């Protein structure tokens, strides 16, 4: 998958993709994502790299697959 990013890192990537502002305490964690090639800094803004975009999309697809599995399991149960 996406080099096994932690949930906190995936949350930061999703926030960047949605242009959410960051608290100062998260900047160190963003530095790690920059070093790993998931994020780039453009002036005062952070942007996802293609690697970061893929990580967010893969995570969303995995969550969608999990939700679909749960939905199909739940629909097989008698009411």
pTM here? 0.67
In a domain, 59, yes or no: yes
Q: Structural domain tally of the chain?
A: 1
In a domain, 34, yes or no: yes
- Enclosing domain of residue 65: 7-75
- Distances in Å between the Cα of 70 and the Cα atoms of 1, 11, 64, 65 are 21, 23, 10, 9
In a domain, 49, yes or no: yes
Q: Calculate the dihedral angle through the C-alpha atoms of 47, 48, 50, 55, rounding to the nearest 10 degrees.
A: 180
In a domain, 56, yes or no: yes
In a domain, 2, yes or no: no
The answer to whether the CB of 48 falls within 8 A of the CB of 13 is yes
In a domain, 15, yes or no: yes
What is the per-residue pLDDT across 18-28, written as a single tens digit (0 to 9) for each? 877 766 667 78
What is the per-residue pLDDT across 26-79, written as a single tens digit (0 to 9) for each? 778 888 999 999 999 888 888 999 999 999 999 888 888 766 655 544 545 444
- DSSP code for 42: E
């Amino acid at each position: 998958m996406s080099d096994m990013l932690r949930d906190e890192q995936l949350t930061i990537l999703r926030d960047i993709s949605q242009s959410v502002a960051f608290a100062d305490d998260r900047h160190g964690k963003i530095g790690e994502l920059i070093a790993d090639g998931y994020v780039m800094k453009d002036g005062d803004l952070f942007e996802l790299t293609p690697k970061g975009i893929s990580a967010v999309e893969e995570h969303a697809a995995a969550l969608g697959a999990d939700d679909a599995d749960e939905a199909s399991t739940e629909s097989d149960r008698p009411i």
